[in-house]
Amino acid sequence: MARQDRLMRLLAVLRRLPSPVTAERLATETEISRRQLYRDIATLRAGGALIDGAAGYGYTLTEDPALPPQSFSRLETEALMLAVGSLDELGDECLARAGRDALARIIATLPDRQARQAMHAIMRSWRPAKERPDIAVDLDSLRQACWDEVSLRIAYRDRQDRRTTREIFPLGLSYSPTTLMLVAWCLLREDYRTFEVARIESLETGETSFRPRRVELLRRYKALRMAEWRERHAAERPKGPAAADGPTS
Query: For 32-67, how does the pLDDT look when each residue is reduced to its tens digit (9 = 90+)?
Result: 999 999 999 999 888 888 888 877 788 988 755 555
pTM of the entire predicted model: 0.65
Reduce the DSSP state of residue 200 to 3 states and report it: strand
Cis omega (within 30 of 0) for bond into 69: no
Query: pLDDT class for 246, splitting at 50, 70, 90?
Result: very low
Q: What is the mean pLDDT of the chain?
A: 85
Q: Which residues contact 78 (CB under 8 A, 6 or more apart)?
A: 121, 122, 123
pLDDT at 193: 95
**How confident is the model over 203-215, as pLDDT tens digits?**
999 989 999 899 8
Task: State how far the alpha carbon of 247 is from the alpha carbons of 236, 238, 239, 243, in Å.
Answer: 18, 12, 13, 7
Cβ-count burial of 26 within 10 angstroms (0-12 exposed, 13-18 middle, 19+ buried)? buried
Residue type, 138: D
Are the beta carbons of 199 and 243 closer than 8 angstroms? Answer: no
pLDDT at 117: 86
